[in-house]
A and B are shown apart, each in its own frame.
Chain A
Amino acid sequence: MRRSIGIALALLLGAAVVVAVVLGNGAGDPAIVRGVIGSEKKPFFDDPRVRAAFEKHGLRVEADTAGSRQIATEVNLDDYAFAFPSSLPAAEKIRKDRGVTRLFSPFHSPMAVATFEPIADVLARAGLVRDSGRGYQVLDIAGYLDLAAKGTRWDELPGNTSYPARKRVLLTTTDVRTSNSAAMYLAMTSYVANGEDVVTTAAQVPEVAGRIAPVFLDQGYSQSSTEAPFEDYLVMGSGKTPMVVVYEAQYLSRLFAGDGSITPEMRLLYPSPTVLSKHTLVPFTEQANEVGRLLTEDPELRGLAAQYGFRTADPEAFTDLAARHRAPIARDLVDVVEPPAYDRMEQLITAIERLYADGAVPQAEGGS
């Protein structure tokens, strides 16, 4: 009995496959375009409205996620029609490696810090957080680096009764060896550690890397993709993630969605200085080219991107949404620095990577 049902099902499925194949060949079933993207853009690509917008143009975009540096170095890009890392330098690297001529930078987002009101208050008392006077709050990176260098714990901050944890005061980031958001954080901290200047020469790398490495290494285990620690922040709260480096877009997309995940206690801070993350698509096929073009030009997709908190070539969509949701955003960021060029960035990351490895002598005899 059961077997006959099985056979019937198999026949049905077989029929379905045949139908699909016939349709696929005949009547413009959307072409599947598979890309590898930074995890923070996954919810955007999964949105049924975004999918529908692409299907209008005969495309179905399927996206796997990986850290941007992984995309640039480890991921086998032959499996994909496009790569969509979260930074221009990573995209440039892929373009060079793959001999691609065109790039699309359809949206960008400044780096921000998501935290909680009691923690922002504690930081304000410690002189690290101040009001910009223009409707948003600013986190002073130089002051933060000083505090971190001293190994300060939360329970050592003056007047801190609201978060007396015996943990170091450290911003949570992703793993700088794999993920772009941590690399963007590296860009801003290296700027400060280099005497308020972009790291431009190899000679500057060792000292700067040595100075900022502890803010990565002392965190302990870091996750590889940006969506993960932000989700921890939303779900597990200040116990796990008192303050986390995010793309502004991650925070705003939740706020704009009005899904209740941004609670009244949550706060968005802008680091000073900050950097812009330019999400950049590298197409390997003609269809992927079309995906890049649509993301950049299609008004519907641009509008949807704004709903996901991205700043696009159409600033009005973004500022309207922010005004409607009373988001404490910085309309025009003044204190924005450029990230180091790809090679310098790689050198900085490699220097920190080496410090990770120094502690990683395999314990197991003959281990990996």
Chain B
Amino acid sequence: MTAPPRRITLGAARRPVTAGRPRPVRRPLLGPVLALALVLGLAGCGPDDIGDDPDTLRILAGSEVKDLEPMLARSGVKVKISYTGTLDGAEQVAGGGADGKYDAVWFSSNRYLSLIDGASARLSTQTKIMASPVLLGLNAAKARELGWQDGKATWEQIATAAREGRFTFGMANPASSNSGFSALVGVAAALSDAGEALDAAQVSAVTPELKEFFSAQRLTAGSSGWLADAYTRQGGVDGIVNYESVLLGMKGLTLVYPGDGVVTADYPLTLLASAPPEKRELYGKLTAWLRTPDTQREIMTTTHRRPAVPEVRPGPEFGPAPLLELPFPNRRAAADRLITAYLDEARVPAHALFVLDTSGSMQGERIEALREALVMLTGADRSASGTFSRFRSRETVTMIPFSGGVGTSRTFKLPEGDPGPVLEEIKGYAEGLGADGGTAIYDGLRAAYSESLRADPKHYTSVVLMTDGENTDGASFEDFRRLYEMLPAGIRPRTFVVLFGESDVEEMNKVAELTGGAVFDARDSSLAAAFKEIRGYQ
């Protein structure tokens, strides 16, 4: 299991990062220059940095609980948190990779995790800390236009409006984010005729309805936090699907509470069965503190999450009626089938443009790492998260290599059915990448943006820029900026930058900031992990 890539952002001192929802209160303090840093949040150290200390509870957590970290300082228990993606984390725990390295895990839900064979034996006590349903937040004007200003609509009505093209929305990728997965489960359960939990056959039956629903999705993200910030900064869609807690922390949104049901995150802080007695005691202390009425009230007022104990009643901001909870699949096959149906059939297909540094400095290990990272995306990573992050059916992939100039670009179109043969082609292409010559980063990037003008508008287009050094040839950043700004606003793709080797951090941050993308740092971790994580944003 690879460590999550470290991401850094604007200019900043090197801060190891994973995607996280920033605490709303911090936003004004840090100011716009650090917007991207906020987008990605700050993370704890990688697993290698974690020494054990009997007084410290080591927690592997989803980025969603990041906003509670400051509060934990007052719990009286020393806590060290490392962040990871939901599915990656689930696989790590189920496979035993968390045993001995961590004492507890804290994701927004244990549901998917529990479906993985062998996972339940690795978990000990589970304690719910708070709750937040996944909802649709629409800008107030659009909500009025659709007649949902009172927050009342069903997923069925929402799906109808989506089919008719009456609104657009953003949602996190269900394969990388719990909020996206919860929404997908909720929508599928609500649109299905079944009153019980969906099985694989029912998922297939509801896929046509899902396709109509997701035709209105015009923004995707690898995390719910990044999604919220991308929407806040750039808009571009009429609303987003996210946790109630995130939506309540944003301005100008009408929260739509689907009357036919929701899926709620319950944030169980979970002791690992492998934790030694002294850590169990720390766990007991921490959970007891988190569930005291005072802490629960503080969580409710500062993070907009619903309390987990009956002694504290939710405030009026959470809406009056009890929310109907939709059944969640109890078989892994159904859950995985649902994600697969989303990726291969329901979602707007992706067009991913990879701008790849093949300059002389990439020779040796580096070009080998790049080949490997790309090969992983053709299906070589056989874990569930690897399978979900590979190139998918209906997707278009364009490779644009550059060195002293732009090389020959090549486009691969994956068919609706079996993607195998095209995946093989991409694999062959990746394995044939060589390294020689200078570094004309912006020529490469300009080629990608020119290419994107020819992209199918029915695809969701985005750019990955991977480079290991400074720009030595061709166009400058300013030249790129001019080209970028000439493009019509509606069709300018985001660029997700991968830092590698001796990347010019400051300029790479500018690229991400200009295009509304993000920066992923693979300098101290694996390029493959960075590419895999970026897949959530494509």
Instruction: Please report the number of residue pairs spanning A and B whose Cβ atoms sit closer than 8 angstroms.
Output: 155
CA distance A238 to B261 in the complex (A): 12
Q: Is B459 an interface position by the 8 A CB rule?
A: no
A62-B284, A261-B311 are known contacts. Are A34 and B330 too (CB-CB below 8 A)? no
Across the interface, A234 reaches (CB within 8 A) one of B120, B273, B310, B325, namely B310
Question: Contact between A46 and B264 (Cβ–Cβ < 8 Å)?
Answer: no
B residues lining the A interface (CB < 8 Å): 94-95, 111, 114-118, 120-121, 123-126, 128, 131, 190, 195-200, 260-261, 264, 271, 273, 277, 280-281, 284, 288, 306-311, 321-334, 336-337, 340, 379, 382-384, 386-387
Q: Report Cα–Cα, A34/B322, bound state, in Å.
A: 39
Residue of A nearest to B116 (CB): A368
A selection of 21 A-B contacts at a CB cut-off of 8 Å is A64-B124, A74-B120, A74-B121, A165-B261, A166-B195, A167-B327, A217-B330, A218-B197, A221-B197, A221-B330, A231-B308, A236-B323, A238-B322, A239-B325, A240-B264, A240-B323, A360-B333, A364-B336, A364-B384, A366-B382, A367-B384
Q: Which of A64, A241, A367 lies in contact with B280, CB distance below 8 A? A: A64
Q: Say whether A307 faces chain B, with CB atoms less than 8 Å apart.
A: no
Do B196 and A221 have beta carbons less than 8 Å apart?
no
- In the assembled complex, the CB of A30 is this many whole angstroms from the nearest CB of chain B, namely 14
Q: Does A359 contact B (CB under 8 A)?
A: yes
**Pick from B325, B327, B331: contact of A359, CB under 8 Å:** B331
Given A64-B124, A237-B322, decide whether A224 and B383 contact each other with a Cβ distance below 8 A.
no
Closest to B118 in A: A368
7 further contact pairs, Cβ within 8 A, besides A151-B195, A236-B322, A241-B325: A228-B128, A236-B306, A259-B310, A260-B311, A359-B333, A360-B115, A364-B383
Tell me if A168 counts as interface (CB < 8 A to partner B): yes
User: A321 in the interface, Cβ–Cβ < 8 Å?
Assistant: no
Q: Which secondary structure dominates chain B's binding surface?
A: mixed
Q: Nearest-CB distance from A288 to chain B (Å)?
A: 15
CB contacts (< 8 Å) of B383 on chain A: these are 364, 367
Asked if A66 contacts B334 (CB within 8 A), the reply is no
Picked from A46, A221, A225, A361, the residue with its CB within 8 Å of the CB of B328 is A221
Which of A66, A237, A364 is the most central at the interface, judged by chain B CB atoms within 10 Å of its CB?
A364
Q: Is A170 an interface residue (CB 8 A)?
A: yes
Task: State whether the Cβ of A153 lies closer than 8 Å to any Cβ in chain B.
Answer: yes
Report how far A368 CA is from B336 CA in the complex, Å: 13
List residues of chain A with CB within 8 A of the CB of B281.
62
Contact (A235, B120) CB under 8 Å given A75-B273, A220-B329, A363-B332: no
Cross-chain contact A235 with B330 (CB below 8 angstroms): no
Given contacts A221-B111, A240-B325, A360-B331, contact A231 B117 (CB under 8 A): no
Give Cα A220 to B263, complex, Å: 12
- A363 and B379 CA atoms in complex are apart in Å by 13
In contact, A231 and B128 (Cβ under 8 angstroms): yes
A-B complex: 10 closest residue pairs judged by Cβ atoms: A220-B197, A220-B327, A363-B336, A261-B310, A239-B322, A240-B325, A218-B196, A364-B384, A221-B328, A359-B331
